[in-house]
Structure 1
Amino acid sequence: MHRRTALSVSTALLLAVPLLSACSGEARPGTAAVVGGERITTAALQAQVNDVRAAQNRSGQSAAELIASTPNLERQKLDSILQSRVIDKMAATAGITVSEKEIEDEHKAYVDDNNGAAQFEALLLQKGAMAPGQVDRFLRDRVLLTKLTAKYGNGKLEEPARAAARALHIEVNPRYGAWDVKQIKLGSGETPWITQRTRPEQAPAGA
């Protein structure tokens, strides 16, 4: 079994296929993105950002360094949320599910490979900007991706990922950028009517 290290925390690197560029339509107020007709609100996104910032501040002497290393945390967390939704759609289409026992087993394997739960959570915070309360979603994604790879084969997730993304009709508020099809992440986007004087996470709520 391969070692589950902090180098494996990025779902984007695991999926590693193009998804779908964001629609250019105007987003509704208070909406960070729309996925499968469901709104991801700016409040829900900000709650995840706040959890990460709180965890970073609890990290002691490394707090300032961790915060400085994640200047675009809102975009990073939204990117993670959207990719998780795509993985969920891929799994649903393939008839793949995950049990709590499988998530627990995955957690135990990561903890064992990273010298304990505290070290594992610290690595996720450092490398993946994940608060302790966000670890289960990471583990769920890992289990689902393992099963999807077993179904479709190594390096063959591209087509099911594209199909899932198309079915979800992903739209992103331009405040957070736009899907970069080649890099599989939220890029900076182009919003020439906005003068970006502050980081995205500092913008007024509901923008």
Structure 2
Amino acid sequence: MHRRRTALVLTAAIAAAAPLLTACGNDAHPGAAAVVGGRRITVAQLEDRVDEVRRAQRAAVPDETQYQQVLASTSSLTRDTLHNMVLDRVLHRAAQDEGITVTRKEVQRMRGGLEQQAGGAKGLQAAWLQKYGIAPAHLDENLRLQLEAQKLAKKLGTDTSRPDFWKALAKASQELRIDLNPRYGSWDVQKSSRVDARTPWVREVTTADGGQPVTA
């Protein structure tokens, strides 16, 4: 299972820069990185979210050499972040379709348990940042989504790794009519996942005089 899908749901376990766009490739939605259910995720919103993660990473890793290693290991952060922002809306829609709600008290209870396992609030924040690219400011938001996923799976009589759960997300993806800026790839409705755009094979054409091939 892809890491993005694995990162969606965390139970008791303790549980991330591509160039940003300056304009949307779809003239119908200028400035949008994605449109989900008629609502835009703007390039500015995506950039802000990525910047939050980078600032948190910089604070956590003050050594320049180590920080460069972090940058190298999270080079797909922008695309991964957009994936998560879209998937969050998909999951929330699927939960709404089933009448599922999550209270603040439930979020705090989950956070408390995870903090105990992680050795405190700072440990939990560091774990989410390192493994899933979630900045501390968005931790509670992410935990709310984890709870929605758990409740959705329970209501469907399955778990988050089983086909029935992902069929519910596929249905929500279809309902939301997700449109990604082509430069970020596309959205696979059946897998509820962002996929990279296919890169055409380089076509080689042999010169008429039998010389070296050239690309076209």
Q: CA deviation at 1:183?
A: 5.7
1:37-90 CA-partner distances (Å, limit 9, x unpaired): 111100011000000010011112343222221112111110001111011101
Q: How does 1:117-128 map to 2 (within 5 A)?
A: 117-128=121-132
Question: Which letter maps to 1:50?
Answer: D
Say if 1:170 and 1:142 are closer, same or farther in 2 by CA, change over 3 A: same
Q: How does 1:101-120 map to 2 (within 5 A)?
A: 101-120=105-124
Partner of 1:198: none
State yes or no: 1:157 paired with 2:165: yes
Q: CA deviation at 1:190?
A: 3.3
Gaps of 5+ in 2: 1-10, 17-24, 201-216
State yes or no: 1:172 paired with 2:180: yes
State the superposition RMSD in angstroms: 2.1
Partner of 1:3: 12
Q: Which moved further from structure 2: 149-158 or 137-146?
A: 149-158
Checking the alignment, whether the CA contact within 8 Å between 1:52 and 1:125 is kept in structure 2 is: yes
Distance in 2 of aligned mates of 1:67 and 1:180? 27
- 2:40 is paired with a residue whose SS is strand
Residue of structure 1 aligned with 2:193, choices 185, 197, 204: 185
Q: CA deviation at 1:119?
A: 1.1
Distance in 2 of aligned mates of 1:182 and 1:162? 5
Larger RCO (alpha carbons 8 Å, 6+ apart): 1
Question: Which letter maps to 1:147?
Answer: K
Distance in 1 of aligned mates of 2:137 and 2:199? 33
- Structure-1-length-normalised TM-score: 0.77
Checking the alignment, whether the CA contact within 8 Å between 1:66 and 1:126 is kept in structure 2 is: no
Partner of 2:211: none
Give the aligned length.
175
Distance in 2 of aligned mates of 1:162 and 1:184? 6
Checking the alignment, whether the CA contact within 8 Å between 1:36 and 1:167 is kept in structure 2 is: yes
- 1:3 is paired with a residue whose SS is coil
1:145-190 CA-partner distances (Å, limit 9, x unpaired): 1111110022221332121111100000011111245764322213
Q: How does 1:1-207 map to 2 (within 5 A)?
A: 3-6=12-15, 28-59=29-60, 60-61=62-63, 62-154=66-158, 155=162, 156-180=164-188, 184-190=192-198
1:79-138 CA-partner distances (Å, limit 9, x unpaired): 001111011101111001111101111111111111111111111111101110111121
Question: Which letter maps to 2:109?
Answer: D
Distance in 2 of aligned mates of 1:183 and 1:158? 7
Q: CA deviation at 1:140?
A: 0.8
Checking the alignment, whether the CA contact within 8 Å between 2:32 and 2:43 is kept in structure 1 is: yes
Question: Which letter maps to 1:3?
Answer: A
Gaps of 5+ in 1: 11-23, 193-207
Q: Which moved further from structure 2: 149-158 or 60-69?
A: 60-69
Q: CA deviation at 1:26?
A: 5.7
Checking the alignment, whether the CA contact within 8 Å between 1:4 and 1:114 is kept in structure 2 is: no
- Structure-2-length-normalised TM-score: 0.74
Checking the alignment, whether the CA contact within 8 Å between 2:174 and 2:189 is kept in structure 1 is: no
Distance in 2 of aligned mates of 1:181 and 1:34? 14
